[in-house]
Amino acid sequence: MKEVVVITGANGSVAKVLAKKLENEYTVRFLTRTKKHENEFEWDITNGTIDDKAFENASHIIHLAGANISEKRWTDERKKEIITSRVDSAQLILRALQKKNIQLKSFISASAVGIYGAITSEKIFKEDDEKGNDFLSEVVILWEKAADEFLEKNVAERVVKVRISIVLSEKEGALKKMAVPVKFGIGSPIGTGRQYIPWIHIDDLSSVFEFALKNKNITGAYNAAAPQHTDNENLTKEISEVLDKPLFMPNVPGFVMKLIFGELSVALLEGSRTSSEKLQNAGFEFKFPDLKLALEDLFKTK
């Protein structure tokens, strides 16, 4: 009998890619706001409701739910939504499991490298480094604390927190947005262009979650970032080369980004490198460790 894995964030690209990787070996269920398929179960984080049939005989939960950090300006209302979509959703699941007296084999939660703070420095951040003190780090600290409660309250035998970097996907997210102006010949780096961008191919990220699921010795926090480091200027140039398009110069000034995006601009104008050494030492192998190869795969140019 297959073990049951419940995945939240069903509409996201990572959940869809991950589900395809798991469906042959596991029974995959989704928590979603609107049920469309037999293996989907509804929940409403705002109202605190959840169909607890999703958890019958469940062994694992992979918690990917969370409002997009960079989709809208960070108004007070949006900030609250960003936090509650991550923290309240985890707490809702925890209560449902406690109510049914279910103990999981694993609770695997998305997290983010934003926990180290939105700063540009020469430091390469590892999992045990000091946390940041800005909004992004506050979000992730609360996010991970909610995940740790599953272990502290004996609801899961182990908890894994996958600290996600910028996910490169041709369908959504940063890469899709960056590629649009490049395709029209008006792409350019933003700010100084020297801010580092820790990144990971979407296929590798889904494989990290699969790796965490299948390996019982994986516990705690792991940075999910490709081993090759890059900055905004180099990433923009690589995109233009892969798409065979010219770059439009000069760089987009930082003050323009601040006018357009407000406080959110800090996530675009700052960034440090992140180490994936702990993940690799645990036995994970990246399929796309090289940025150019990752971009060629995503844009299917080779």
Any domain includes 128: yes
**Bridge partner list, 31:** 41
What spatial distance separates the first Cα and last Cα of the chain, rounded to whole Å? 41
Reported as a pLDDT band with limits 50, 70 and 90, residue 236 is confident
Cis peptide before 227 (omega within 30 of 0): no
Report in angstroms the alpha-carbon separations of 285 from 203, 204, 211: 12, 9, 10
pLDDT higher than threshold 90 for residue 189:
no
Give the whole-number percent of the chain exceeding pLDDT 90.
63
Q: How confident is the model at residue 180, as a pLDDT?
A: 74
| Phi and psi based region of residue 39 (left: phi greater than 0; alpha: psi -120 to 50; beta: remaining) | alpha
Q: Each residue of 62-95: pLDDT tens digit?
A: 999 998 887 778 788 988 999 999 999 999 999 9
Any domain includes 80: yes
Summary mean pLDDT of the chain = 89
Instruction: Give the residue among 29, 13, 14, 38 at the shortest CA–CA distance from 210.
Output: 14
Q: What is the 3-state secondary structure (H, E, C) of the chain?
A: CCEEEEECCCCCHHHHHHHHHHCCCEEEEEEECCCCCCCEEEEECCCCEECHHHHCCEEEEEECCCCCCCCCCCCHHHHHHHHHHHHHHHHHHHHHHHHCCCCECEEEEEEEHHHHCCCCCCCEECCCCCCCCCHHHHHHHHHHHHHHHHHHCCCECCEEEEEECEEECCCCCHHHHHHHHHHCCCCCCECCCCCECCEEEHHHHHHHHHHHHHCCCCCEEEEECCCCCCEHHHHHHHHHHHHCCCCCCCCECHHHHHHHHHHHHHHHHCCCEECCHHHHHCCCCCCCCCHHHHHHHHHCCC
Any domain includes 141: yes
Any domain includes 145: yes
Reported as a pLDDT band with limits 50, 70 and 90, residue 246 is confident
Any domain includes 270: no
Average pLDDT over residues 198-223: 97
CB atoms within 10 A of CB 214: 13
Q: How confident is the model at residue 72, as a pLDDT?
A: 79
Q: How confident is the model at residue 115, as a pLDDT?
A: 94
Reported as a pLDDT band with limits 50, 70 and 90, residue 269 is low
Average pLDDT over residues 109-121: 90
Q: Each residue of 46-57: pLDDT tens digit?
A: 999 999 999 999
Q: How confident is the model at residue 255, as a pLDDT?
A: 47
pTM (whole model) above 0.75: yes
Instruction: Give the residue among 259, 132, 99, 244 at the shortest CA–CA distance from 185.
Output: 244
Any domain includes 203: yes
Average pLDDT over residues 287-291: 96
Domain count, the chain: 1
Q: How confident is the model at residue 30, as a pLDDT?
A: 96
Report in angstroms the alpha-carbon separations of 52 from 57, 61, 93, 121, 289: 11, 13, 9, 45, 39
Q: What is the CATH number of the domain that holds 87?
A: 3.40.50.720
280: burial class by Cβ within 10 Å (0-12, 13-18, 19+)? middle
Any domain includes 189: no
Q: State the residue range of the domain holding 76.
A: 3-166+199-225
Any domain includes 294: no
